[in-house]
Structure 1
Amino acid sequence: MSSLLVIRHGQASFGQDDYDVLSSLGRSQSRQLGTFLARRGVAIHAVYSGPAKRHQDTAALMIEATRADGATIPDAVIDASFDEYPAFEVIAHYLPALIDDGMIPAVLAERYRQSALDPVTHRQTFEAMFRVVLARWAEGSLVSPTASSIETFAEFRERVRGGLTRLIEAHGRGATIAVVTSAGPCAASLTLAVSATPVETIHQSLVVANTAITELKYRDAQDITLYRFNSVPHLQSRALVTHR
């Protein structure tokens, strides 16, 4: 059988001006992943990366560390199929209206408004609302005539599934393919092997750790099995395991 390793990027810069930059810890996580793969003797035949800077930098650092440990690994190929779902666009477009319309719990909305000067509380309340808004987006209950350019959940899922299916069909049996992407595509990849509702997929995406590996085993595009989800064997300390 062949293996498809769907890997989330290293820790990015949540709460900073540019989220799409790996933190120093994120860079270390990426290198540790590459060293782990080399020392475990995982022969990777192809590497693909989503288009974001955090995807490409994670892939580059993983590859660099793998080669530094004496293993052979090809350069990454950039593929837009593996970009993240449009979380920031969805939040920016829908959150203010959902708060004004009372569709966000009033207590949560008030905590969010009052937390602007407290970064820790602000982050906690933002993440709680993030979960609510993305779940509504996934189930298709957010409708706006001015949001036609925002990718729907169905479009996102089919983009990722289509990209992964294309890779499976392009690489024969015995291959190991690595795809460096974001939490959303990691969760969406599960739907190639197991059933999950749109909201379940969103909830799964929110627990994916940085540089975690989701592995699918396959014979062909119709015979795919989930082998492991959200695995971080390369991170030997709990302090190294992050989600944001």
Structure 2
Amino acid sequence: MALITVIRHAQASFGAANYDKLSPLGHRQSKALGAALRAQGWQWPGKVMIGSQLRHRETLEGIAEGYGAEADPVVHPGLNEFDFTALLKAHEQGDAIPEKTTGDRAAHFRQLKATVLAWQADEIAEPPERYADFVARVEDARASAEGDTLMVSSGGAISQMIRRVLDAPATQQILLQLQMKNCAVNKIVQGRNGAYLHGFNETPHIDATNADEMLTYS
């Protein structure tokens, strides 16, 4: 049996021109998570994987620093997030206003849910990526694990991976995604007879003294 530890990236730059980089808080979250994992007795695995997005790499670097380990990751595109902005524009047939998705968190998440559900139902005529292709690349990333493996990814890809392990309907992906905290730890046990969810949305770096700062979702 092998343990796949899949971690969502730390807080990125929500509302900024470039979302794909960690905020100052995100850097603190990732280091705190690394220290917490070490304190728990979690063992640094032999294989480390990330997507090609900067927030994945920066999160891994923070985790490794906090843990006291060296990270030499394999980059796998299956761990990249789907392109929500491009998907929204396709859904709105080019009429989307970027400010609608970047300035208001509540509006952002409402639009995210509606757009993903339409995408899964194949109701978006020319999406930047077909939902079936997204599913396939995420599955390929999970299949690329070798023994105990650490993956750093994004909420959509991780939620897709989990819902497939649970054999849940496609619509459960976005419901899982909307619950996922920054730096959340998810664990999948994988063996000859299948894969099993062993942990979901865990935050060992958050406690009563730091929750007001460390608990974030976007």
TM-score computed with the length of structure 1 as normaliser: 0.80
Between structure 1 and structure 2, the one with the greater Rg is: 1
The CA RMSD over aligned residues, in Å, is 2.3
Matched residues in 1 for 2:162 and 2:156: separation? 10
The one of 142, 163, 170 aligned to 2:141: 163
- Is contact 2:35–2:67 with CA below 8 Å preserved after alignment? yes
Q: Note the 1:154-233 alignment, pairs <5 A.
A: 154-167=132-145, 170-171=146-147, 176-220=148-192, 222-233=193-204
- Is contact 2:90–2:125 with CA below 8 Å preserved after alignment? no
The residue type equivalent to 1:85 in the other structure is: F
Matched residues in 2 for 1:74 and 1:30: separation? 14
Corresponding residue SS for 1:198? coil
Unaligned regions of 5+ residues in structure 2, if any? none
After superposing the two structures, state which structure 1 stretch, 4-13 or 77-86, moved more: 77-86
Task: Kindly indicate whether residue 31 of structure 2 is the aligned counterpart of residue 31 of structure 1.
Answer: yes
Note closer, same or farther for the CA distance 1:133–1:192 as it changes in structure 2 (3 Å cut). closer
Matched residues in 2 for 1:43 and 1:61: separation? 16
Matched residues in 2 for 1:184 and 1:56: separation? 17
- Is contact 1:192–1:224 with CA below 8 Å preserved after alignment? no
Q: How many residues align?
A: 213
Q: Note the 1:9-24 alignment, pairs <5 A.
A: 9-24=9-24
Matched residues in 1 for 2:182 and 2:92: separation? 26
Superposition deviation, residue 87 in structure 1:
1.2
After superposing the two structures, state which structure 1 stretch, 15-24 or 40-49, moved more: 40-49
Task: Kindly indicate whether residue 111 of structure 2 is the aligned counterpart of residue 129 of structure 1.
Answer: yes
Matched residues in 2 for 1:234 and 1:9: separation? 13
Note closer, same or farther for the CA distance 1:81–1:126 as it changes in structure 2 (3 Å cut). closer
The residue type equivalent to 1:126 in the other structure is: H
The one of 73, 77, 84 aligned to 2:74: 77
Corresponding residue SS for 2:190? strand
Partner of 1:88: 85
Corresponding residue SS for 1:242? coil
TM-score computed with the length of structure 2 as normaliser: 0.89
Superposition deviation, residue 91 in structure 1:
1.1
Matched residues in 2 for 1:202 and 1:3: separation? 24
Note closer, same or farther for the CA distance 1:27–1:191 as it changes in structure 2 (3 Å cut). same
Partner of 2:59: 58
Identity of aligned residues (%): 25
Unaligned regions of 5+ residues in structure 1, if any? 100-111
- Is contact 2:89–2:95 with CA below 8 Å preserved after alignment? no
Corresponding residue SS for 2:197? strand
Superposition deviation, residue 33 in structure 1:
0.9
Structure 1's consecutive aligned runs of 4 or more residues displaced over 3 angstroms after TM superposition are 96-99
Partner of 1:238: 211
